[in-house]
Structure 1
């Protein structure tokens, strides 16, 4: 029943998206034709000599966009990722569709259409599609919170990956999962409200007694057991998913090639090299320069507020460790009292972060203005100058302190293979609420799986996180 309900809603919103995009195209076409031939606005202008050209363009772009919607699985009503991811894929799909359509139109010699209409259609249709998908996400979240679309799931394994998954599914209700419980050969009554369903051998019985739609396996290292489970469960009408070991995933960035006739696998430290690295630096320079100009009024207001609130300088300069272990000075708006560094030794026993980083939710050194600018990451805006200079990037690992780096092992040192960033995967995944270990995993995952598209996704996800002030102190 829930599947049918979800399918109906998916079809409905796709229909509205198609309708909105079509209206945008034909309004632009009609406006262009009326301006060019001095006609009255009729919305169709079918008898125009250019109607067939525009129709060919619209149909080809629509077919390509439809294929890409299916390719990126954008047709589903259930959310499998955040809104930023979905909107990014929509923009990507529509942009590809327009570019490919232009190429095909030239090959077919259907070129008698306005470039202004094409560009306007590209931008306005994306806005229309994103608006419809934003509304869809709002409806989805409300239904998911009420349990109308929730999917019953059983989790196999309650180790660190199982626990992390349970927290993820519980904290993000938009994913639409209802945890029936978990099976594990070691009883763990402290996990997720005591939803322990017994050992893994009891799984068949659990599935008989409960309406389970999906099983998620979080013990990928136990390959023999996983293979037996898949063989046994694939006969049932149940979705099976496997959460990969993050460490193995991190080490999976390889290039397949050969030395003469011998096949070889080359371990790649990071994809952040060559033309991609040059492109990233170009974006950093352009975006940081533009951002500094746009937020100049915020710089001014923050500076005045800091000066009126407490004694001391406006800018706080702190030594951090950058790419390849090179030290640099990172700039921030001062959010603490002027003698904050000397007071740190008195507060070390109150450290609330595990690992070597220092974090304290109610740090007495933070000023009144400082608490506000920290919550909304305004204190980090001067780092745009670090990006412009070249010792930081817009997106990258968190820049560590020298005393933190002193405790790094070989694995942690990998964070220093790239420029540190103002924001990063850690920023959009919990900020200060993350443990030191989670920071490390997320930073190294980012380094191993970097791409320009990945950077754009992180930047898009940073906006709502900063506006909500989540996990910052």
Structure 2
């Protein structure tokens, strides 16, 4: 156990730290005892367990009533179906760790574990029925398990939405200290503040010691942190002492030469007797999911990064799914498309559709379609408005663009002007999900990193759509697009499509 030496304090006895107590052990050693926790996780887990009980008992009871309402059964079979199946189901939910706080409230891991637990329950029932010659009605099982699984997922989703809404109001949050170099720390602080529904609040940062004076970039970062009300608590060497003294819930360490293995070991030792979690960001934070695995190499546990799959069968499968889905969407939305076209035509003179040249896969250009939302001479008037741009360093955006028509303003707010791009997807020029389709003048100023976006088809929606759209700066837009390129999968696409619905309803960043 590492020794954490407290800073000198007035000789008036130890004071309790925020949220906990202080005990003195051997001289020169401060031991912080984690307090009895009435953490948000305790309340949330109880709520999830109660919701799961409603889903499981409701599904099994309904299945029993529908299957055996008119068929008499033996008492032991009644008990097996009404008590045994729910008990087995809950056992598999606990065994699959679906109630661990780290899996709750965020990400897809929680849902995946619930589905695996339900599938395992079905397998156990089938195996037990065969092994012990139990006459368990297949109709009961095949009705109860799917219904209960759907109920589990829906109720957990609703619980999660309630939690996110509470976090947006500042409830159920966790305090966080971020440590690393200036630019990286500033990026994390901004991201944490954007994603308030994650429940993290940065209460301070630890930066490298700069006794030799501040460079321009460092001074800029310090000014930005001060503007956001985030204090500098100390240097990287003081991180352990500062985190323990502040009683924070979590510590996030960014990759720097100073935060090597020995540093992280000592920090972990210092946090062992607190309730604080330790998060360590790898140097490849934008590469996630199945591409990353820890594998032994010459006795060392090293991160193995698989190559991103952008060619071959997976690209063919993605293109096929995109085209089929686009065809179905065009057929279903045909009445809506016709009504929008009529509204655009009646609102202002000019064509219904606006065709703009964009750059797609491998730098090939194509004509991207949109419902016209601006006056016909919008491109000619752009030069007059360039100085009023509210977008980022590359993209032109204005919240109150005078070129937008009355109908166009509504279409943009609800992203309905993008619907004709389903035709671009249908002919293979775009995907349903992908990076934002860039203009040729934007591609002309791309660096090597940005050009990597052109390895996949641009998308009708993407990470940029569900993370702020026009409110994003250029670096953030590029980071999100590259994250998609590096980590594409069908599950990732489905998640983005699902979240796009909420982003469109909220209309955040749409103008």
Q: Does TM, scored on the shorter chain, surpass 0.5?
A: yes
User: Match of 2:204?
Assistant: 181
How far residue 118 of structure 1 moved from its aligned partner, in angstroms, is 4.7
Q: Specify every segment of 5 or more residues in structure 2 that has no aligned partner in the other structure, as ranges.
A: 1-35, 211-218, 296-302
Contact 1:152 1:214 in 2 (8 A): yes
Task: Pick the aligned partner of 2:106 from 72, 81, 105.
Answer: 81
Residue 376 of structure 2 aligns to a residue whose secondary structure is: coil
Residue 341 of structure 1 aligns to a residue whose secondary structure is: coil
Q: Specify every segment of 5 or more residues in structure 1 that has no aligned partner in the other structure, as ranges.
A: 40-44, 258-264
Residue 45 of structure 2 aligns to a residue whose secondary structure is: helix
CA distance in 2, matches of 1:362, 1:469: 15
CA distance in 1, matches of 2:391, 2:362: 25
Q: Equivalent residues in 2 for 1:63-462 (5 A)? A: 63-68=91-96, 70=97, 75-76=100-101, 81=106, 85=108, 88-89=111-112, 92-93=115-116, 96-97=119-120, 100=123, 104=127, 108=131, 117-141=140-164, 143-144=166-167, 149-157=172-180, 159-185=182-208, 186=210, 188-191=222-225, 192-218=228-254, 220-222=255-257, 224-235=258-269, 236=271, 237=274, 238-246=276-284, 249=287, 253=291, 270-462=308-500
CA distance in 1, matches of 2:161, 2:286: 36
* Shift in alpha-carbon separation, 1:92–1:390, aligned structure 2, 3 A: farther
CA distance in 1, matches of 2:305, 2:199: 37
Contact 1:276 1:452 in 2 (8 A): no
Contact 2:92 2:120 in 1 (8 A): yes
Matched, 1:27 2:62: yes
How far residue 212 of structure 1 moved from its aligned partner, in angstroms, is 1.6
How far residue 343 of structure 1 moved from its aligned partner, in angstroms, is 1.9
* Shift in alpha-carbon separation, 1:411–1:14, aligned structure 2, 3 A: same
CA distance in 1, matches of 2:152, 2:130: 28
* Shift in alpha-carbon separation, 1:110–1:143, aligned structure 2, 3 A: farther
Contact 1:14 1:75 in 2 (8 A): no
Contact 2:61 2:82 in 1 (8 A): no
* Shift in alpha-carbon separation, 1:272–1:123, aligned structure 2, 3 A: farther
How far residue 333 of structure 1 moved from its aligned partner, in angstroms, is 0.7
CA distance in 1, matches of 2:347, 2:151: 45
User: Match of 2:41?
Assistant: 6
Provide Cα deviations, 1:14-73, integer angstroms capped at 9, x if missing partner.
1331332222123113211235x3x5xxxxx554879868987766655444444x2xx5
How far residue 412 of structure 1 moved from its aligned partner, in angstroms, is 1.9
How far residue 410 of structure 1 moved from its aligned partner, in angstroms, is 2.9
Residue 340 of structure 1 aligns to a residue whose secondary structure is: coil
Provide Cα deviations, 1:292-340, integer angstroms capped at 9, x if missing partner.
2222232122112211211111111112121122221111111111111
CA distance in 1, matches of 2:367, 2:359: 8
Q: Tell me the C-alpha RMSD between the 2 structures.
A: 3.5
How far residue 194 of structure 1 moved from its aligned partner, in angstroms, is 4.4
Contact 1:7 1:77 in 2 (8 A): no
Contact 1:322 1:391 in 2 (8 A): yes
CA distance in 1, matches of 2:464, 2:393: 15
How far residue 245 of structure 1 moved from its aligned partner, in angstroms, is 3.6
CA distance in 2, matches of 1:403, 1:160: 28
How far residue 119 of structure 1 moved from its aligned partner, in angstroms, is 5.0
Contact 2:181 2:256 in 1 (8 A): no
Contact 2:51 2:155 in 1 (8 A): yes
CA distance in 1, matches of 2:286, 2:154: 38
CA distance in 1, matches of 2:348, 2:363: 34
**Bigger radius of gyration:** 2
Contact 1:87 1:130 in 2 (8 A): no
Contact 2:122 2:145 in 1 (8 A): no
How far residue 448 of structure 1 moved from its aligned partner, in angstroms, is 1.3
How far residue 355 of structure 1 moved from its aligned partner, in angstroms, is 3.5
TM-score (ref. length: structure 2): 0.77
Provide Cα deviations, 1:107-153, integer angstroms capped at 9, x if missing partner.
64979666655554354323422342244235434654565532222
Instruction: Tell me whether 391-400 or 209-218 shows the greater mean CA deviation.
Output: 209-218
